[in-house]
Amino acid sequence: MKMRPRSRLFAPLFVALTASAWIALWAWDAGPYARYLHRASWTELPGVGAICRAVPGASLPLAASLHSVAWLLMIAAMMLPTAFPLFDTFRRMTSAREERRTLIALLIVGYAMAWTLFGLIAHAFDEALHRLADQSPTLLANGWLIGAAIVALAGLYQFSSLKHRCLDKCRSPLMFITGHWRGLSARRESFLLGMSHGAFCVGCCWALMLLMFAVGTGSVGWMLALGAIMAAEKNFSWGRSIGKPLGIALIAWSAWIVVQHVSMA
C-alpha cells in the first residue's frame, strides 16, 4: 500500500479542530452554564429544570444528552490529539481513493464511538457511587476514601501488563492499520478500525480518565494536564518512560490523601 506525502493542510486543520474544542470547553466552563460540565442536579440547571417539570420522563433523556455533548467535547479536546499519528497515517494510505474524506471521517467517528461507550459506563459507575454514598452516612461523611481509591487505582494500573500492551498498539499506528484494514469493504473497515484503535486507547488510558471523576469532570486545568500526559505517552519516543514515575506519584498522592484525613480525624 503506497504512502503519500504529508498534506500541508491536514495537520493545521487538525490543530484548529483541537484548539476549537479546548476554546469551547474553556468558554463553557467560564460561562453561566458551567454546571453542565460538572455533576449537578439536572432539575436545578437553567432551562432544563423547567422542561423536566413540564414533560414527564424528560429528565433522563436530557441528562444523557447533556452528558454526551460534554463528554464528546472533552474527548475531542483530550484524546483526538493523542491519536493524530493514526489519523495522519491512514489519510496518507487512502489518499488515492475517491472516498478518502468519507473514510477518514468514519475512522474518527469509530474512534469517538469507543470513547463514548466508555463514557456511558464511567458515568453509570459514577452515578452508582453517588447513590451508594447517599444511602450510606459513613461513606457520605468519608467520601475522600473513594477519591483516594480511584487515584491509587490509576497509579497501580500504570504498572499493569494490560496497560503496556494497549500502549504498544497505540504507539504503532502503521502496524495497527495494516493489521486491521484491508480496504475491501472500505467504509465498514474504516469505522471498525477507528473503533478498534479507540478500544485499545481506552484500555491504555481509562484509569487516568477516571481521575476526571475523582477531581471533577469540569476542571479544564485537569483536562489539559491529563491530555498532555496521555499524548506524551503515546506519541513521543520518551513517552513510555513516564509511566512508572507517574504511577509512583499517583500512589503517593493517594497515600497523602489518606494520611491527611486520618490525621484530621
Task: Give the chain's domain count.
Answer: 1
Angle at 122 between CA 117 and CA 126, to 5 degrees: 150
CA dist., res. 19 & res. 81, Å (int): 10
Is the residue at 210 inside a domain? yes
Is the residue at 227 inside a domain? yes
CA dist., res. 108 & res. 198, Å (int): 9
Grid coordinates 506524551 are at which residue?
232
Picking from 37, 39, 249, the residue whose alpha carbon sits closest to that of residue 143 is 39
Is the residue at 83 inside a domain? yes
Is the residue at 59 inside a domain? yes
CA dist., res. 170 & res. 145, Å (int): 32
Is the residue at 2 inside a domain? no
Are 257 and 148 in contact, with CB atoms under 8 Å apart? yes
Tell me what percent of the residues of the chain surpass a pLDDT of 70. Answer: 78
Q: Higher model confidence: residue 20 or residue 37?
A: 20
Q: Residue 216: which pLDDT band, with cuts at 50, 70 and 90? A: low
Residue range 166-202, pLDDT digits in tens: 999 999 999 999 998 888 889 999 999 999 999 999 9
Residue range 91-142, pLDDT digits in tens: 988 888 889 899 999 999 999 999 988 888 887 887 787 777 778 777 767 7
pLDDT of residue 202: 95
Is the residue at 173 inside a domain? yes
Q: The pTM is what?
A: 0.81
Q: Which residues of 42-64 are buried (b: 16+ CB within 10 A; e: fewer)?
A: beebeebeeebeeeeeebeebbe
Is the residue at 3 inside a domain? no
Does residue 43 have a pLDDT over 70?
A: no
Picking from 250, 126, 96, the residue whose alpha carbon sits closest to that of residue 186 is 96
Domain extent, residue 259, equals 10-264
Is the residue at 30 inside a domain? yes
Q: Residue 207: which pLDDT band, with cuts at 50, 70 and 90? A: very high
